[in-house]
Amino acid sequence: MIQSRHEHYLSLFPTEPAFRWKQIEQGLFSFASSWEDLTALSKYMRENIGSIPWMSVTEQQIQVSRNSDTHKALLRVEGDKDIETVLMRNKREAWTICVSSQIGCAMRCGFCATGKMGLIRNLTTDEIVDQYRYWMQYLKDHPELEGRISNIVFMGMGEPLANYEAVKDALNLILKHTDIGRTRITVSTVGVLPRLEQILTDKDWPHIRLAVSLHSAVAETRKQIVPTSYDDFLPKLGDWAKRYLYRHGNRRHHLTFEYVMLKGVNDTPDQARALAKFVNRIGNVRVNLIPYNLTGLEFECSTNPTIKAFLDVLQSKHVIATTRRTMGDDIDAACGQLAVKEKTSDT
C-alpha cells in the first residue's frame, strides 16, 4: 500500500488538532508551490513537514501541440511508473484538464491504446488530485498561457469506476478546495454497472456529470468492441439510466453517451437508428460522437460524410448529439491515445 499524505502526516504529528490537517489540505490547493509557502503553519511544523512529498507526481516529459492548445505531461508516480495527463484550451477561454485514474486499464476496449497496456495499478487519491495541482503549478509557471482550469474530465488512462473510492475522494477534495463546480467535472465510464448502481445510493458520491462509453446500441457490436460488455448490458444500462435521471436529472443535469466512430463497425444508419431508439427510451441523454483517433491498425475512423449522415439520423429522431473536437492528436494526446510504453529492464 502506498502511504497517503494524510497517513504520513498523522505518523509525524499524531497529537495535532484535526483542524490543522484541514488547513494543510487547503494549502495544497492554494497558490503555494511548496511547504515553505504555507506560512500559517508553526515553525515546528514547517521544519518537520518537509519529509512528506509536496507532490506525489513528478514531471518526466511535456509535449505541446503545434497550435499550443494541448499540452500533454508524462508524470512519474511511485513504483517508477508513468501516467499521462492533458491540458486543453476550451471554448470558455479557460483550460480543461483530462486526468488518469489508473496506470493502464483492465477493460481492453479494442480501439483504445490504454487498454492494450493491461492494468498495472490503481492511482491513489493523492496521485489523482496531484494531476490537477500539477497543471495549476504549470499554468503559474507559464503565465503566457493565461486562463484558469475551469473543467476536469476523467477521461485519461484507466476506468474511473474500477477505482471507485479513490476517484470519489479525489472528486470531493476538488469540489471542496477549488472553485470548479459539479457541472464542470465529468467522469467517463465504460459502464461498470455495480458501481453505477452504487452511485445511486452512495450519499458521499458527488453528483458530477457522468458520461457512459456506449459505442453501440446493438449488443453484438458493443461486445465486439468493448469486451467487458455482455448480453443484457444494454437493457440494464437503460434501466439504470432512467433511475439515475429520475433521481438526479434536471435541465442542467443530463447523462452523456459517448460513441467512438469506427468505420464500418458502428457507423451505419442502422446503428444510428438503434442508438436513437435506445436514447429516446431513456430521456435526458446527450450523445457525443468521438472521431476515432488512430491507435493501431485494427480500426479506421468513419469518414466525415458518414459521421454527418449518422448525426442526421440522430437529429431526425430528435436526439441531441454533438461531435467532439479532436485535440492534440499530433502529440498522441487525443482520446484513447494515452499509453505509456513499459521501460525495458536494462534502462
* Interacting residues toward ligand SAH by CB under 6 A: 109, 111-112, 155, 159, 188-190, 213, 258, 260, 290, 292-293, 295, 335-336
Burial class (CB in 10 A: 0-12, 13-18, 19+), 156: buried
Per the CB < 8 A criterion, the answer to whether 238 and 282 are in contact is yes
Least distance to ligand SAH, CB of residue 17, Å: 40
Least distance to ligand SAH, CB of residue 327, Å: 11
Least distance to ligand SAH, CB of residue 159, Å: 4
Measured from the CB atom, is 255 or 260 closer to ligand SAH? 260
How far is 38 from 27, CA to CA, in rounded Å? 6
Annotated catalytic residue within 98, 105, 301, 335: 335
* Cα radius of gyration rounded to whole Å, the chain: 21
How far from the centroid of its chain's Cα atoms is residue 288's Cα? 15
Q: Is 335 an annotated catalytic residue?
A: yes
Size of the chain in residues: 347
Number of other CB atoms surrounding residue 316 within 10 Å: 11
* 131-155 burial: b if 16+ Cβ within 10 Å, else e: bbbbbbbbbeeeeebeeebbbbbbb
Least distance to ligand SAH, CB of residue 136, Å: 22
Least distance to ligand SAH, CB of residue 164, Å: 13
In this structure, which amino acid lies at residue 5?
Answer: R
Q: Is 84 an annotated catalytic residue?
A: yes
Neighbouring residues of 14: CB distance < 8 A, sequence distance ≥ 6: none
Measured from the CB atom, is 27 or 115 closer to ligand SAH? 115
Measured from the CB atom, is 127 or 139 closer to ligand SAH? 127
Measured from the CB atom, is 295 or 302 closer to ligand SAH? 295
Annotated catalytic residue within 84, 127, 159, 258: 84
Measured from the CB atom, is 38 or 170 closer to ligand SAH? 170
214 DSSP 8-state letter: -
- Residue facing ligand SAH at closest CB distance: 336
Q: Supply the residues annotated as catalytic.
A: 84, 335
